[in-house]
Amino acid sequence: MSNTISHWVDNAPFDGSSSATAPVTNPASGEVTGQVALATVEDARHVIDAAAAAFPAWRDTSLAKRTQILFTFRELLNTRKGELAEIITSEHGKVVSDALGEVARGQEVVEFACGIPHLLKGGYTENASTKVDVYSIRQPLGPVGIISPFNFPAMVPMWFFPVAIACGNTVVLKPSEKDPTASLWIANLWKDAGLPDGVFNVLQGDKTAVDELLTNPKIKSISFVGSTPIAQYVYATATAAGKRVQALGGAKNHAVVLPDADLDLAADAMVNAGFGSAGERCMAISACVAVGPIADDLVAKIAERTTPLKIGDGTKDSDMGPLVTKAHRDKVASYIDAGETDGAKVVVDGRTISGDGADRDSSGFWLGPTLLDQVTPDMSVYTDEIFGPVLSVLRVETYDHALELINTNPYGNGTAIFTNDGGAARRFQNEVEVGMVGINVPIPVPMAYYSFGGWKASLFGDSHAHGMDGVQFFTRQKAITQRWLDPSHGGINLGFPESQ
Ligand code: NAD
């Protein structure tokens, strides 16, 4: 049965003016489960206008009232997060436990935002000049736009909107059209938490909706997460329209395994970080760099852990679910074909999955975990972001060669090193040109009170997501100079005022 997935405006569903829709599928069955509305420019303007109309009252709502609503939202989310996880699995395909993990990481940002009264405090300097005080305050921007990718339909929007709303902004969220239902569940939760009409709105759609957000003068900032070419386009277009922009792009994350590493720990980490969420994570490890003589042992240990993984419906007892769409599944499989043709050794072949759990007769978008050895830097399986369950092993002789691979790679989102040598780890942390680094930790996603963001082609703009970067991104600073007592100004003096 097919349902219509609408926009959300003023705490209510909004159908929009167009009958244009895109199909939403359950990746485990291939079944079309819904039709998501595709906004016209007029629809987008209607949603943006609602966010603009709600802004003055929300900006003037006290921090005490804002935080009460945030705390209520956090409590409702914590109590009901199982519902959200099931929605994520039904449209994305990841296993439910992984979907719950995604919600938990998003919830941590809500908890961070509950501390907004402390985070928004400004500075105060008494007597900067005689009887003159100077102080600073942070004020919200206005209506802000958030554009999110398919792979984290709850967590990625939650990197931004809790902080944006806590700071006094109103929000228009444009989710991925591949798994849009989570956004409506979240919108309903905000309503239940008592958020006033128009503060959190959802605009469903494709490029038409995005382009209106990027250029509409009422939208004051853009927070984008997605692939690098679109991130670049979003950054260029929205900054040209005078907006503040943070645009997080794609990734190719390397894990370096040094000869002294605990190879069992490293092999566990490669499997978890390479194949969790079917490799559809911006922090997935897709290139394992084996340094020195350990490569044969490491590849064998990864293979023996990969083969028994159960591939199947994310609502059942599976380790890994299907890929998000058939087109994406076929694209990832074509990279494995190309790697094989280019001379990589296919150690575990996901194109012929024999894992437990998958219904062979279903039309689900199945592709099993794939381990490629003897990959070289010129192969497309290495140069491109594949965004699927494909782990490539590259063999190098030295630490310096491993570092050079990472530092010459255009992406710089996350990386990891596995070693028992503290000095080597410290050197890596210092020398590697990547935004998030793990030491014996394969997916080094920072906590909510630190900021999330990569370097190079993995982020356009200078502001990372959440943490204090988020508070700064979603506010403008104002500095005030005041004199009350003895307001004598000493008569006419056209010179530049000096402190006395
Ligand atoms: P995508 O770039 O295809 O889509 C992201 C968003 O942009 C969606 O809302 C989509 O509707 C919109 N969009 C797509 N094409 C557009 C166009 N031509 N013009 C305007 N808007 C457009 O990305 P995706 O496939 O949904 O997500 C996967 C990508 O996101 C991967 O590259 C992954 O690395 C990246 N990602 C990065 C991070 C990070 O933190 N750096 C986090 C998650 C995902």
DSSP 8-state class, residue 361: T
Question: What's the gap in Å between 223 CA and the centre of ligand 1?
Answer: 12
Residue 233 φ/ψ region, left for φ over 0, alpha for ψ in the -120 to 50 degree band, beta for the rest: alpha
Domains of the chain: 3-249+458-480 (3.40.605.10), 253-439 (3.40.309.10)
Question: What's the gap in Å between 283 CA and the centre of ligand 1?
Answer: 14
Question: What's the gap in Å between 231 CA and the centre of ligand 1?
Answer: 7
Residue nearest atom 6 of ligand 1, based on CA coordinates: 149
Instruction: Give the 3-state secondary structure of residue 406.
Output: helix
pLDDT of residue 157: 98
Pocket test for ligand 1, best of 21, 24, 150 (most atoms within 8 A of CB): 150
| Residue 282 falls in the annotated catalytic set | yes
Q: Which of 114, 167, 282, 288 is catalytic?
A: 282
pLDDT of residue 9: 98
Residue nearest atom 21 of ligand 1, based on CA coordinates: 207
Neighbour tally for 431: CB within 10 Å = 12
Identify whether the C-beta of residue 261 lies closer than 8 Å to the C-beta of residue 254. Answer: no
Sign of torsion over alpha carbons 458, 306, 352, 276: negative
Atom in ligand 1 nearest the alpha carbon of residue 150: 26
Atom in ligand 1 nearest the alpha carbon of residue 251: 34
Nearest to 160 by CA among 223, 204, 207: 223
Query: In whole angstroms, what is the distance from residue 241 CA to residue 238 CA?
Result: 5
Query: In whole angstroms, what is the distance from residue 105 CA to residue 446 CA?
Result: 10
pTM: 0.97
Q: Mean pLDDT, 10 residues at a time, over the chain (500 residues)? A: 87 95 95 97 98 99 98 98 98 98 98 98 95 96 98 98 98 98 98 98 98 98 98 98 98 98 98 98 98 98 96 93 96 98 97 61 88 98 98 98 98 98 98 98 95 98 97 98 75 80
pLDDT of residue 361: 56
Question: What's the gap in Å between 413 CA and the centre of ligand 1?
Answer: 15
Residue nearest atom 20 of ligand 1, based on CA coordinates: 207
Residue nearest atom 17 of ligand 1, based on CA coordinates: 207
Query: In whole angstroms, what is the distance from residue 369 CA to residue 448 CA?
Result: 30
Ligand 1 interacting residues, C-beta cut-off 6 A: 147-152, 156, 174, 176-177, 206-207, 210, 225-227, 230, 248-251, 282, 385, 387, 413, 454, 458
Length of the chain, please?
500
The enclosing H or E element of 300 equals helix 295-306
Beta bridge partners of 289: 256, 394
Question: What's the gap in Å between 148 CA and the centre of ligand 1?
Answer: 7
Tell me the two tokens of residue 301: 């240990």
Pocket test for ligand 1, best of 152, 213, 230, 253 (most atoms within 8 A of CB): 230
Atom in ligand 1 nearest the alpha carbon of residue 234: 20
